[in-house]
Structure 1
Protein backbone atom coordinates (compact mmCIF):
# COMPACT_ATOMS: atom_id res chain seq x y z
CA UNK A 1 0.00 0.00 0.00
CA UNK A 2 2.82 2.40 0.86
CA UNK A 3 4.38 1.75 -2.56
CA UNK A 4 1.11 2.61 -4.30
CA UNK A 5 0.79 5.80 -2.25
CA UNK A 6 4.31 6.84 -3.19
CA UNK A 7 3.58 6.17 -6.87
CA UNK A 8 0.36 8.18 -6.66
CA UNK A 9 2.16 11.03 -4.88
CA UNK A 10 4.78 11.15 -7.65
CA UNK A 11 2.09 11.21 -10.35
CA UNK A 12 0.32 14.11 -8.63
CA UNK A 13 3.50 16.01 -7.74
CA UNK A 14 4.54 16.62 -11.35
CA UNK A 15 1.32 18.34 -12.54
CA UNK A 16 1.05 20.30 -9.28
CA UNK A 17 4.60 21.58 -9.68
CA UNK A 18 3.89 22.69 -13.26
CA UNK A 19 0.70 24.45 -12.17
CA UNK A 20 2.52 26.20 -9.30
CA UNK A 21 5.36 27.40 -11.55
CA UNK A 22 2.90 28.55 -14.22
CA UNK A 23 0.77 30.37 -11.65
CA UNK A 24 3.72 32.25 -10.13
CA UNK A 25 5.45 33.00 -13.45
CA UNK A 26 2.28 34.37 -15.07
CA UNK A 27 0.80 36.16 -12.04
CA UNK A 28 1.76 39.67 -13.16
CA UNK A 29 1.70 39.02 -16.90
CA UNK A 30 0.30 41.76 -19.13
CA UNK A 31 0.96 39.84 -22.36
CA UNK A 32 -2.04 39.28 -24.62
CA UNK A 33 -0.73 35.85 -25.61
CA UNK A 34 0.31 34.62 -22.15
CA UNK A 35 -2.37 35.78 -19.69
CA UNK A 36 -2.20 34.89 -15.98
CA UNK A 37 -3.16 31.31 -15.16
CA UNK A 38 -5.76 32.67 -12.75
CA UNK A 39 -7.51 34.39 -15.67
CA UNK A 40 -7.34 31.24 -17.81
CA UNK A 41 -8.80 29.07 -15.06
CA UNK A 42 -11.56 31.63 -14.55
CA UNK A 43 -12.49 31.39 -18.23
CA UNK A 44 -12.25 27.60 -18.03
CA UNK A 45 -14.81 27.61 -15.22
CA UNK A 46 -17.12 30.05 -17.00
CA UNK A 47 -16.96 28.40 -20.44
CA UNK A 48 -16.27 24.68 -20.01
CA UNK A 49 -18.10 24.06 -16.75
CA UNK A 50 -21.15 25.73 -18.24
CA UNK A 51 -22.74 25.59 -21.68
CA UNK A 52 -19.39 25.01 -23.37
CA UNK A 53 -19.34 21.41 -22.20
CA UNK A 54 -22.71 20.53 -23.70
CA UNK A 55 -22.28 22.71 -26.80
CA UNK A 56 -18.74 21.69 -27.69
CA UNK A 57 -17.20 18.96 -25.51
CA UNK A 58 -20.06 16.46 -25.80
CA UNK A 59 -20.28 16.67 -29.64
CA UNK A 60 -16.50 16.21 -29.82
CA UNK A 61 -16.58 13.18 -27.54
CA UNK A 62 -19.51 11.67 -29.44
CA UNK A 63 -17.79 11.93 -32.82
CA UNK A 64 -14.41 10.81 -31.53
CA UNK A 65 -15.73 7.78 -29.63
CA UNK A 66 -17.92 6.73 -32.56
CA UNK A 67 -14.99 6.80 -34.95
CA UNK A 68 -12.72 5.14 -32.40
CA UNK A 69 -15.15 2.26 -31.76
CA UNK A 70 -15.50 1.70 -35.50
CA UNK A 71 -11.70 1.57 -35.72
CA UNK A 72 -11.57 -0.97 -32.87
CA UNK A 73 -14.09 -3.28 -34.56
CA UNK A 74 -12.46 -3.01 -37.98
CA UNK A 75 -8.86 -3.11 -36.73
CA UNK A 76 -9.28 -6.09 -34.41
CA UNK A 77 -11.52 -8.04 -36.78
CA UNK A 78 -9.32 -7.52 -39.81
CA UNK A 79 -6.17 -7.98 -37.75
CA UNK A 80 -7.27 -11.40 -36.52
CA UNK A 81 -8.11 -12.48 -40.06
CA UNK A 82 -4.80 -11.23 -41.48
CA UNK A 83 -2.80 -12.68 -38.58
CA UNK A 84 -4.33 -16.13 -38.98
CA UNK A 85 -4.45 -16.33 -42.76
CA UNK A 86 -1.27 -16.14 -44.89
CA UNK A 87 -3.30 -15.58 -48.07
CA UNK A 88 -5.16 -12.66 -46.49
CA UNK A 89 -1.84 -11.20 -45.36
CA UNK A 90 -0.49 -11.38 -48.91
CA UNK A 91 -3.73 -10.05 -50.39
CA UNK A 92 -4.21 -6.89 -48.32
CA UNK A 93 -0.74 -6.45 -46.82
CA UNK A 94 0.60 -4.12 -49.55
CA UNK A 95 -2.55 -1.98 -49.45
CA UNK A 96 -2.33 -1.63 -45.67
CA UNK A 97 1.34 -0.64 -45.85
CA UNK A 98 0.58 1.93 -48.56
CA UNK A 99 -2.26 3.54 -46.60
CA UNK A 100 -0.31 3.39 -43.34
CA UNK A 101 2.45 5.47 -44.91
CA UNK A 102 0.03 8.35 -45.50
CA UNK A 103 -0.17 10.88 -42.64
CA UNK A 104 -3.62 10.60 -41.08
CA UNK A 105 -4.38 14.32 -41.40
CA UNK A 106 -4.15 14.19 -45.21
CA UNK A 107 -7.39 12.19 -45.11
CA UNK A 108 -9.26 15.34 -44.14
CA UNK A 109 -9.41 16.93 -47.65
CA UNK A 110 -10.54 13.62 -49.15
CA UNK A 111 -13.20 13.18 -46.47
CA UNK A 112 -14.43 16.75 -47.04
CA UNK A 113 -14.92 16.02 -50.75
CA UNK A 114 -16.71 12.71 -50.13
CA UNK A 115 -18.77 13.48 -47.01
CA UNK A 116 -18.83 17.26 -46.89
CA UNK A 117 -18.40 19.24 -43.68
CA UNK A 118 -20.13 17.61 -40.74
CA UNK A 119 -20.17 14.65 -38.42
CA UNK A 120 -19.76 12.02 -41.16
CA UNK A 121 -16.48 13.50 -42.33
CA UNK A 122 -15.02 13.68 -38.83
CA UNK A 123 -16.11 10.17 -37.85
CA UNK A 124 -14.65 8.77 -41.07
CA UNK A 125 -11.29 10.48 -40.52
CA UNK A 126 -11.02 9.24 -36.93
CA UNK A 127 -12.13 5.72 -37.83
CA UNK A 128 -9.77 5.31 -40.78
CA UNK A 129 -6.79 6.98 -39.15
CA UNK A 130 -7.10 4.95 -35.93
CA UNK A 131 -7.64 1.61 -37.67
CA UNK A 132 -4.02 1.11 -38.68
CA UNK A 133 -2.30 1.10 -35.24
CA UNK A 134 -4.96 -1.29 -33.96
CA UNK A 135 -4.77 -3.49 -37.07
CA UNK A 136 -0.98 -3.77 -37.09
CA UNK A 137 -0.72 -4.47 -33.36
CA UNK A 138 -3.48 -7.08 -33.61
CA UNK A 139 -1.69 -8.82 -36.47
CA UNK A 140 1.56 -8.83 -34.47
CA UNK A 141 -0.21 -10.22 -31.40
CA UNK A 142 -2.04 -12.94 -33.34
CA UNK A 143 1.09 -14.03 -35.17
CA UNK A 144 2.94 -14.11 -31.86
CA UNK A 145 0.59 -16.71 -30.39
CA UNK A 146 2.55 -19.74 -29.24
CA UNK A 147 2.08 -22.63 -31.73
CA UNK A 148 1.89 -25.01 -28.76
CA UNK A 149 -1.30 -23.28 -27.61
CA UNK A 150 -2.84 -23.75 -31.07
CA UNK A 151 -1.84 -27.42 -30.99
CA UNK A 152 -3.45 -27.85 -27.57
CA UNK A 153 -6.66 -26.27 -28.89
CA UNK A 154 -6.66 -28.79 -31.76
CA UNK A 155 -6.08 -31.61 -29.28
CA UNK A 156 -9.17 -30.56 -27.35
CA UNK A 157 -11.04 -30.33 -30.68
CA UNK A 158 -11.83 -26.64 -30.41
CA UNK A 159 -13.69 -25.18 -33.35
CA UNK A 160 -12.12 -22.34 -35.32
CA UNK A 161 -14.20 -19.73 -33.51
CA UNK A 162 -13.45 -21.27 -30.10
CA UNK A 163 -9.73 -21.24 -30.86
CA UNK A 164 -9.88 -17.57 -31.78
CA UNK A 165 -12.01 -16.62 -28.78
CA UNK A 166 -10.31 -18.73 -26.10
CA UNK A 167 -6.71 -18.94 -27.30
CA UNK A 168 -5.75 -16.38 -29.96
CA UNK A 169 -7.49 -13.27 -28.63
CA UNK A 170 -6.29 -13.69 -25.02
CA UNK A 171 -2.72 -14.30 -26.25
CA UNK A 172 -2.88 -11.23 -28.52
CA UNK A 173 -4.62 -9.01 -25.95
CA UNK A 174 -1.47 -7.22 -24.65
CA UNK A 175 -0.47 -6.25 -28.18
CA UNK A 176 -4.06 -5.22 -29.03
CA UNK A 177 -4.23 -2.91 -26.02
CA UNK A 178 -0.92 -1.34 -27.05
CA UNK A 179 -2.57 -0.49 -30.38
CA UNK A 180 -5.65 0.86 -28.61
CA UNK A 181 -3.52 3.24 -26.53
CA UNK A 182 -1.55 4.44 -29.55
CA UNK A 183 -4.70 5.06 -31.58
CA UNK A 184 -6.42 6.92 -28.74
CA UNK A 185 -3.94 9.80 -28.94
CA UNK A 186 -4.34 9.80 -32.72
CA UNK A 187 -8.14 9.95 -32.33
CA UNK A 188 -7.87 13.16 -30.29
CA UNK A 189 -5.58 14.74 -32.88
CA UNK A 190 -7.83 13.83 -35.80
CA UNK A 191 -10.91 14.99 -33.90
CA UNK A 192 -9.41 18.44 -33.39
CA UNK A 193 -8.14 18.73 -36.98
CA UNK A 194 -11.51 17.69 -38.40
CA UNK A 195 -13.36 20.21 -36.22
CA UNK A 196 -11.00 23.03 -37.20
CA UNK A 197 -11.55 22.32 -40.88
CA UNK A 198 -15.21 21.33 -41.21
CA UNK A 199 -17.38 21.86 -38.14
CA UNK A 200 -19.52 24.46 -36.40
CA UNK A 201 -19.07 23.01 -32.92
CA UNK A 202 -16.60 20.97 -30.91
CA UNK A 203 -13.47 21.66 -28.90
CA UNK A 204 -11.28 22.18 -31.96
CA UNK A 205 -13.78 24.61 -33.46
CA UNK A 206 -14.01 26.51 -30.16
CA UNK A 207 -10.22 26.82 -29.88
CA UNK A 208 -9.94 28.05 -33.47
CA UNK A 209 -12.72 30.61 -33.02
CA UNK A 210 -11.12 31.90 -29.82
CA UNK A 211 -7.84 32.38 -31.69
CA UNK A 212 -9.58 34.20 -34.55
CA UNK A 213 -11.35 36.54 -32.14
CA UNK A 214 -8.17 37.07 -30.10
CA UNK A 215 -9.91 35.63 -27.03
CA UNK A 216 -6.59 34.17 -25.93
CA UNK A 217 -7.72 33.23 -22.42
CA UNK A 218 -10.58 31.23 -23.94
CA UNK A 219 -8.13 29.57 -26.33
CA UNK A 220 -5.90 28.49 -23.45
CA UNK A 221 -8.97 27.28 -21.53
CA UNK A 222 -9.95 25.15 -24.54
CA UNK A 223 -6.46 23.64 -24.65
CA UNK A 224 -6.71 22.75 -20.96
CA UNK A 225 -10.11 21.17 -21.58
CA UNK A 226 -8.75 19.12 -24.47
CA UNK A 227 -5.77 17.91 -22.45
CA UNK A 228 -7.97 17.07 -19.45
CA UNK A 229 -10.35 14.99 -21.56
CA UNK A 230 -7.46 13.18 -23.20
CA UNK A 231 -5.96 12.37 -19.80
CA UNK A 232 -9.26 11.10 -18.38
CA UNK A 233 -10.04 8.95 -21.43
CA UNK A 234 -6.54 7.47 -21.34
CA UNK A 235 -6.97 6.78 -17.62
CA UNK A 236 -10.23 4.95 -18.36
CA UNK A 237 -8.54 2.85 -21.04
CA UNK A 238 -5.65 2.00 -18.70
CA UNK A 239 -8.15 0.91 -16.03
CA UNK A 240 -9.92 -1.30 -18.56
CA UNK A 241 -6.60 -2.77 -19.64
CA UNK A 242 -5.60 -3.53 -16.05
CA UNK A 243 -8.85 -5.42 -15.47
CA UNK A 244 -8.77 -7.23 -18.81
CA UNK A 245 -5.10 -8.24 -18.53
CA UNK A 246 -5.07 -9.12 -14.84
CA UNK A 247 -4.35 -12.73 -15.76
CA UNK A 248 -1.40 -11.63 -17.90
CA UNK A 249 0.27 -9.71 -15.07
CA UNK A 250 -0.29 -12.62 -12.70
CA UNK A 251 1.26 -15.04 -15.20
CA UNK A 252 4.33 -12.83 -15.62
CA UNK A 253 4.71 -12.51 -11.85
CA UNK A 254 4.56 -16.29 -11.41
CA UNK A 255 7.07 -16.74 -14.24
CA UNK A 256 9.50 -14.33 -12.58
CA UNK A 257 9.11 -16.07 -9.21
CA UNK A 258 9.77 -19.42 -10.81
Structure 2
Protein backbone atom coordinates (compact mmCIF):
# COMPACT_ATOMS: atom_id res chain seq x y z
CA UNK A 1 0.00 0.00 0.00
CA UNK A 2 2.82 2.38 0.87
CA UNK A 3 4.46 1.68 -2.49
CA UNK A 4 1.25 2.59 -4.34
CA UNK A 5 0.85 5.81 -2.32
CA UNK A 6 4.49 6.75 -2.89
CA UNK A 7 4.16 6.13 -6.62
CA UNK A 8 0.96 8.19 -6.74
CA UNK A 9 2.75 11.01 -4.92
CA UNK A 10 5.56 11.11 -7.47
CA UNK A 11 3.05 11.05 -10.34
CA UNK A 12 1.00 13.94 -8.93
CA UNK A 13 3.77 16.00 -7.29
CA UNK A 14 5.39 17.43 -10.42
CA UNK A 15 2.14 18.54 -12.15
CA UNK A 16 0.95 20.16 -8.90
CA UNK A 17 4.29 21.91 -8.51
CA UNK A 18 4.22 23.20 -12.11
CA UNK A 19 0.65 24.49 -11.71
CA UNK A 20 1.61 26.22 -8.47
CA UNK A 21 4.62 27.88 -10.12
CA UNK A 22 2.46 28.96 -13.09
CA UNK A 23 -0.20 30.34 -10.74
CA UNK A 24 2.35 32.31 -8.70
CA UNK A 25 4.31 33.56 -11.73
CA UNK A 26 1.23 34.81 -13.57
CA UNK A 27 -0.87 36.04 -10.63
CA UNK A 28 0.07 39.70 -11.06
CA UNK A 29 0.40 39.65 -14.86
CA UNK A 30 -1.09 42.56 -16.81
CA UNK A 31 0.30 41.32 -20.15
CA UNK A 32 -2.69 40.58 -22.45
CA UNK A 33 -0.76 37.70 -24.04
CA UNK A 34 0.15 36.16 -20.66
CA UNK A 35 -3.06 36.18 -18.60
CA UNK A 36 -3.14 34.90 -15.01
CA UNK A 37 -3.83 31.21 -14.63
CA UNK A 38 -6.92 31.94 -12.56
CA UNK A 39 -8.38 33.83 -15.56
CA UNK A 40 -7.66 30.90 -17.87
CA UNK A 41 -9.26 28.40 -15.49
CA UNK A 42 -12.28 30.65 -15.02
CA UNK A 43 -12.70 30.87 -18.81
CA UNK A 44 -12.23 27.13 -19.38
CA UNK A 45 -15.77 25.84 -18.59
CA UNK A 46 -17.37 28.62 -20.63
CA UNK A 47 -15.32 27.76 -23.71
CA UNK A 48 -15.12 23.97 -23.65
CA UNK A 49 -18.76 23.07 -23.34
CA UNK A 50 -20.19 19.67 -24.21
CA UNK A 51 -21.16 20.95 -27.65
CA UNK A 52 -17.62 22.19 -28.39
CA UNK A 53 -16.14 18.92 -27.17
CA UNK A 54 -18.38 17.12 -29.66
CA UNK A 55 -17.69 19.45 -32.59
CA UNK A 56 -13.95 20.09 -32.07
CA UNK A 57 -12.30 17.60 -29.70
CA UNK A 58 -14.02 14.45 -30.98
CA UNK A 59 -13.09 15.03 -34.67
CA UNK A 60 -9.48 15.65 -33.65
CA UNK A 61 -9.34 12.43 -31.63
CA UNK A 62 -10.91 10.42 -34.48
CA UNK A 63 -8.39 11.80 -37.00
CA UNK A 64 -5.54 11.04 -34.63
CA UNK A 65 -6.82 7.50 -34.06
CA UNK A 66 -7.21 6.85 -37.80
CA UNK A 67 -3.76 8.22 -38.70
CA UNK A 68 -2.12 6.42 -35.79
CA UNK A 69 -3.79 3.12 -36.67
CA UNK A 70 -2.75 3.44 -40.32
CA UNK A 71 0.85 4.20 -39.31
CA UNK A 72 0.85 1.23 -36.91
CA UNK A 73 -0.31 -1.25 -39.57
CA UNK A 74 2.09 0.07 -42.23
CA UNK A 75 5.03 0.51 -39.84
CA UNK A 76 4.82 -2.93 -38.24
CA UNK A 77 4.09 -4.65 -41.57
CA UNK A 78 6.93 -3.06 -43.52
CA UNK A 79 9.28 -3.15 -40.54
CA UNK A 80 8.79 -6.88 -40.12
CA UNK A 81 9.54 -7.54 -43.78
CA UNK A 82 12.57 -5.23 -43.88
CA UNK A 83 13.95 -6.55 -40.60
CA UNK A 84 13.54 -10.18 -41.61
CA UNK A 85 15.36 -10.07 -44.97
CA UNK A 86 18.86 -8.69 -45.26
CA UNK A 87 18.66 -7.97 -49.01
CA UNK A 88 15.40 -6.06 -48.63
CA UNK A 89 16.97 -4.06 -45.81
CA UNK A 90 20.05 -3.23 -47.91
CA UNK A 91 17.83 -1.90 -50.72
CA UNK A 92 15.37 0.01 -48.54
CA UNK A 93 17.62 1.60 -45.89
CA UNK A 94 18.95 4.51 -48.06
CA UNK A 95 15.42 5.40 -49.19
CA UNK A 96 14.06 5.16 -45.64
CA UNK A 97 16.79 7.40 -44.27
CA UNK A 98 16.05 9.98 -46.98
CA UNK A 99 12.30 9.97 -46.37
CA UNK A 100 12.71 9.97 -42.58
CA UNK A 101 14.74 13.18 -42.78
CA UNK A 102 11.88 15.08 -44.46
CA UNK A 103 9.79 16.87 -41.79
CA UNK A 104 6.11 15.82 -42.15
CA UNK A 105 4.76 19.42 -41.84
CA UNK A 106 6.69 20.29 -45.02
CA UNK A 107 4.67 17.65 -46.89
CA UNK A 108 1.29 19.17 -45.98
CA UNK A 109 1.04 21.34 -49.16
CA UNK A 110 2.01 18.33 -51.29
CA UNK A 111 -0.46 16.03 -49.53
CA UNK A 112 -3.18 18.66 -49.99
CA UNK A 113 -2.68 18.46 -53.76
CA UNK A 114 -3.44 14.74 -53.81
CA UNK A 115 -5.76 14.26 -50.82
CA UNK A 116 -7.66 17.55 -50.83
CA UNK A 117 -8.37 19.57 -47.71
CA UNK A 118 -10.71 17.20 -45.89
CA UNK A 119 -10.16 14.63 -43.20
CA UNK A 120 -8.19 12.38 -45.57
CA UNK A 121 -5.40 14.96 -45.79
CA UNK A 122 -5.18 15.28 -42.01
CA UNK A 123 -5.13 11.51 -41.50
CA UNK A 124 -2.39 11.07 -44.11
CA UNK A 125 -0.31 13.84 -42.51
CA UNK A 126 -0.59 12.19 -39.09
CA UNK A 127 0.25 8.77 -40.52
CA UNK A 128 3.22 10.11 -42.51
CA UNK A 129 4.87 11.33 -39.31
CA UNK A 130 3.87 8.49 -36.98
CA UNK A 131 5.03 5.71 -39.28
CA UNK A 132 8.78 6.35 -38.97
CA UNK A 133 9.44 5.61 -35.29
CA UNK A 134 7.18 2.54 -35.54
CA UNK A 135 8.85 1.31 -38.72
CA UNK A 136 12.44 1.85 -37.58
CA UNK A 137 11.89 0.37 -34.12
CA UNK A 138 10.16 -2.64 -35.66
CA UNK A 139 13.10 -3.18 -38.02
CA UNK A 140 15.59 -3.07 -35.14
CA UNK A 141 13.39 -5.25 -32.94
CA UNK A 142 13.04 -7.92 -35.62
CA UNK A 143 16.76 -7.82 -36.36
CA UNK A 144 17.52 -8.35 -32.65
CA UNK A 145 15.54 -11.60 -32.36
CA UNK A 146 17.83 -14.27 -30.90
CA UNK A 147 19.23 -16.44 -33.69
CA UNK A 148 19.30 -19.45 -31.35
CA UNK A 149 15.55 -19.10 -30.78
CA UNK A 150 14.99 -18.85 -34.52
CA UNK A 151 16.98 -22.03 -35.14
CA UNK A 152 15.17 -23.80 -32.31
CA UNK A 153 11.79 -22.82 -33.77
CA UNK A 154 12.88 -24.04 -37.20
CA UNK A 155 14.08 -27.36 -35.81
CA UNK A 156 10.71 -27.87 -34.09
CA UNK A 157 8.87 -27.10 -37.31
CA UNK A 158 7.44 -23.78 -36.12
CA UNK A 159 7.23 -21.75 -39.31
CA UNK A 160 4.98 -19.32 -41.13
CA UNK A 161 2.37 -17.36 -39.21
CA UNK A 162 3.01 -19.17 -35.92
CA UNK A 163 6.72 -18.31 -36.03
CA UNK A 164 5.96 -14.71 -36.92
CA UNK A 165 3.29 -14.29 -34.22
CA UNK A 166 4.76 -16.27 -31.33
CA UNK A 167 8.47 -15.61 -31.78
CA UNK A 168 9.40 -12.73 -34.06
CA UNK A 169 6.73 -10.17 -33.14
CA UNK A 170 6.66 -11.20 -29.47
CA UNK A 171 10.43 -10.83 -29.18
CA UNK A 172 10.36 -7.49 -31.00
CA UNK A 173 7.28 -6.16 -29.16
CA UNK A 174 9.16 -4.19 -26.45
CA UNK A 175 10.97 -2.19 -29.11
CA UNK A 176 7.81 -1.89 -31.22
CA UNK A 177 6.01 -0.37 -28.26
CA UNK A 178 8.88 2.08 -27.80
CA UNK A 179 8.24 3.24 -31.36
CA UNK A 180 4.48 3.38 -30.75
CA UNK A 181 5.06 5.62 -27.72
CA UNK A 182 7.22 8.02 -29.75
CA UNK A 183 4.67 8.00 -32.56
CA UNK A 184 1.84 8.98 -30.22
CA UNK A 185 3.48 12.28 -29.24
CA UNK A 186 4.34 12.99 -32.88
CA UNK A 187 0.76 12.24 -33.88
CA UNK A 188 -0.67 14.80 -31.43
CA UNK A 189 1.66 17.48 -32.80
CA UNK A 190 0.76 16.68 -36.42
CA UNK A 191 -2.93 16.54 -35.55
CA UNK A 192 -2.75 20.17 -34.40
CA UNK A 193 -0.59 21.31 -37.33
CA UNK A 194 -2.81 19.64 -39.94
CA UNK A 195 -5.89 21.31 -38.46
CA UNK A 196 -4.31 24.73 -38.92
CA UNK A 197 -4.49 24.27 -42.71
CA UNK A 198 -7.88 24.65 -44.42
CA UNK A 199 -9.86 23.16 -41.54
CA UNK A 200 -13.33 23.94 -40.24
CA UNK A 201 -13.14 22.18 -36.88
CA UNK A 202 -10.69 20.53 -34.51
CA UNK A 203 -8.57 21.65 -31.57
CA UNK A 204 -5.84 23.17 -33.76
CA UNK A 205 -8.41 25.09 -35.81
CA UNK A 206 -10.11 26.40 -32.65
CA UNK A 207 -6.85 27.57 -31.05
CA UNK A 208 -5.88 29.46 -34.20
CA UNK A 209 -9.33 31.06 -34.41
CA UNK A 210 -9.03 32.25 -30.81
CA UNK A 211 -5.57 33.66 -31.55
CA UNK A 212 -6.74 35.49 -34.66
CA UNK A 213 -9.67 37.04 -32.79
CA UNK A 214 -7.37 38.03 -29.87
CA UNK A 215 -9.34 35.87 -27.42
CA UNK A 216 -6.12 35.08 -25.59
CA UNK A 217 -7.54 33.40 -22.44
CA UNK A 218 -9.68 31.21 -24.72
CA UNK A 219 -6.56 30.33 -26.72
CA UNK A 220 -4.76 29.27 -23.54
CA UNK A 221 -7.69 27.02 -22.61
CA UNK A 222 -7.19 25.24 -25.95
CA UNK A 223 -3.55 24.65 -25.04
CA UNK A 224 -4.68 23.18 -21.71
CA UNK A 225 -7.06 20.86 -23.58
CA UNK A 226 -4.18 19.63 -25.71
CA UNK A 227 -2.10 18.98 -22.60
CA UNK A 228 -4.92 17.07 -20.93
CA UNK A 229 -5.56 15.08 -24.10
CA UNK A 230 -1.88 14.13 -24.33
CA UNK A 231 -1.88 13.07 -20.66
CA UNK A 232 -5.00 10.92 -21.04
CA UNK A 233 -3.70 9.23 -24.18
CA UNK A 234 -0.40 8.53 -22.41
CA UNK A 235 -2.24 6.89 -19.49
CA UNK A 236 -4.31 4.75 -21.87
CA UNK A 237 -1.17 3.77 -23.78
CA UNK A 238 0.61 2.72 -20.58
CA UNK A 239 -2.35 0.55 -19.56
CA UNK A 240 -2.37 -1.18 -22.95
CA UNK A 241 1.40 -1.57 -22.91
CA UNK A 242 1.42 -3.14 -19.44
CA UNK A 243 -1.29 -5.58 -20.47
CA UNK A 244 0.35 -6.61 -23.76
CA UNK A 245 3.90 -6.66 -22.38
CA UNK A 246 3.00 -8.18 -19.01
CA UNK A 247 5.36 -11.10 -19.69
CA UNK A 248 8.22 -8.69 -20.44
CA UNK A 249 7.75 -6.56 -17.31
CA UNK A 250 7.41 -9.72 -15.21
CA UNK A 251 10.65 -11.10 -16.67
CA UNK A 252 12.49 -7.85 -15.90
CA UNK A 253 11.14 -7.78 -12.36
CA UNK A 254 12.20 -11.37 -11.70
CA UNK A 255 15.65 -10.64 -13.14
CA UNK A 256 16.09 -7.66 -10.80
CA UNK A 257 15.02 -9.73 -7.80
CA UNK A 258 17.49 -12.49 -8.64
CA UNK A 259 20.44 -10.08 -8.89
TM-score interval (norm. to shorter) = over 0.9
The within-5 A match list for 1:2-17 is: 2-17=2-17
Shift of 1:170: 0.8
Shift of 1:234: 1.1
CA distance in 1, matches of 2:197, 2:111: 11
- SS in structure 1 at match of 2:64: helix
Give me the CA root mean square deviation.
1.3
TM-score for both structures, normalised by structure 1:
0.96
CA distance in 2, matches of 1:145, 1:67: 28
Counterpart of 1:80 in structure 2 is 80
Structure 1: which 5+ runs fail to align?
Answer: none
CA distance in 2, matches of 1:30, 1:175: 48
The within-5 A match list for 1:31-180 is: 31-180=31-180
Counterpart of 1:188 in structure 2 is 188
- SS in structure 1 at match of 2:197: helix
State whether residues 80 and 138 of structure 1, in contact with CA within 8 Å, keep that contact through their aligned partners in structure 2.
yes
CA distance in 2, matches of 1:238, 1:250: 15
Shift of 1:101: 0.9
State whether residues 44 and 221 of structure 1, in contact with CA within 8 Å, keep that contact through their aligned partners in structure 2.
yes
- SS in structure 1 at match of 2:185: helix
Shift of 1:201: 0.6
Q: How many residues align?
A: 258
State whether residues 112 and 121 of structure 1, in contact with CA within 8 Å, keep that contact through their aligned partners in structure 2.
yes
